[in-house]
Amino acid sequence: MQITIDEAKCCGAGQCVLVAPEVFDQRDEDGIVVLLNASPDAAQHAAVREAATICPAAAIQVRE
Ligand code: SF4
């Protein structure tokens, strides 16, 4: 799995961080997403897919 994020789309909603806190964080200044791990291990995959699905800005792309 390879994850990419589009910071320009991110609206700082934080949904991804709630679902997959080991993969996503948010910048303190403005809440924009920070990708902690672009290729997480299998244990994280379901959470990452859910994060991509629920992101209101469609800012998370997942390549399997
Ligand atoms: S859920 Fe989407 S919009 Fe919200 S912080 Fe994460 S990437 Fe940004």
Predicted local distance difference test score (pLDDT) of residue 6: 98
Ligand 1 geometric centre to CA of 9 (Å): 8
Q: Are 9 and 57 in contact (CB under 8 A)?
A: yes
Predicted local distance difference test score (pLDDT) of residue 7: 97
- Report the residue among 4, 7, 15 best suited for mutation to probe ligand 1: largest number of ligand atoms under 8 A from its CB: 15
- Rounded to 5 degrees, what are φ and ψ at 47? -65, -40
User: Residue 64 — pLDDT band, cuts 50, 70, 90?
Assistant: very high
- The whole model's pTM is what? 0.96
Report the pLDDT averaged over residues 24-47: 98
Using alpha carbons, list the distances in angstroms from residue 48 to 4, 31, 32: 11, 18, 17
The domains located in the chain, with CATH, are: 2-63 (3.30.70.20)
